[in-house]
Amino acid sequence: MNGATRAGDTTAESAGQKFIAFVLRAALRATVKRAFQAGLPIERQRQRLLSATRLTLPPRSVSFETASVAGVPGDMVRQRGDEAASSVILYLHGGGYTTGSPRTHRTLTGHLAVRCGARIFVPDYRLAPEHPFPAGLDDAVTAYRGLLDEGVESGEIVIAGDSAGGGLAVAAALRLRDLGQPRPRALVLFSPLADLDREYPGVLPRGEVMLTPAWLRACARAYVAAGDPRDPLISPVSADLCGLPPTLIQVGTDELLLPDSRRLAERLQSAGVRAELHEFPGRWHVFQANAGILADAGRALEEVARFIRRPPH
């Protein structure tokens, strides 16, 4: 696995956690996978995903406020009583570049704010097919530069994201590097979608509970539009990754995007970037969203907190 760390051991799980994992898998198949269906009108997909995430419970100690950074709307997430937190996480939500919003990710970003002691800005970046590449990337870069203009030091900013948001986080870091902007402290990627030009296996991983090759291909077509899926800002696994900040990648072993995480980690390490890949056996796509219920999700977010607190060099 070229340096990948296997985090946790599902064989040592308590009976309670095994039951919780079983129930969560069933719930994800019945809700999120039902939303992520190729051919289903995009508005229906978005509505179903939002309905599914209403079943989750963000931590009560966190506030979610409508905010805008450099004209990009979104959520500002922070732990109550910690309004002066200097660290900021620019969090880019997943959803295949076509679905998702700050609202669908509030449980994940809320727990991340608590574990990391940081403010989190979640841009409501423009989505395909209405706004294909590079609209979402432009919004992410604008939000980062807006945080700098507001006086946040680049060394206090972490860019994070899940799934498509993970790929977008890498693309944003690449664009910022090429623009000569100060680089963020770190990148944190949950199951990043880093290659929109890949061929998917005919047989799904046995534990995959929400993604399908057909849906991912449909999302790629919508986002890429008239562009080239091999463009390094669309598929950053093919980019020159030199000069990117320290990067943590977390992924479950039971998901379709495991190869993306492995290839991206290898490419980062080959480019001289301090990159860590942590694989969680028996876990599904963006399992971190189940923090507060699933023990592995909580451990994963604690790992994120430790990673971003390390010296950046």
The answer to whether 87 touches 308, Cβ cutoff 8 Å, is: yes
Please report, as a single letter, which amino acid is at residue 127. Answer: L
| DSSP class of 288 | G
Q: Could you count the other beta carbons within 10 Å of the beta carbon of residue 310?
A: 12
Residue 260 host element (H or E):
helix 258-270
| DSSP class of 127 | -
Tokens of 195: 């290659």
What is the biggest distance separating any 2 CA atoms in the chain, rounded to whole angstroms?
52
Q: What is the dihedral of CA 214, 234, 242, 261, to 10 degrees?
A: -20
What are the φ/ψ torsions at residue 79 (nearest 5 degrees)? -75, 135
- Annotated active-site positions, please? 163, 255, 285
The answer to whether 208 touches 269, Cβ cutoff 8 Å, is: no
Tokens of 97: 């570049």
| DSSP class of 184 | P
| Cis peptide upstream of residue 213 (ω within 30 degrees of 0) | no
| DSSP class of 200 | P
If we measure between CA atoms, which residue out of 3, 45, 2, 4 comes closest to residue 252? 4
Tokens of 136: 């979402």
Note the Cα 110 to chain centre separation in Å: 14
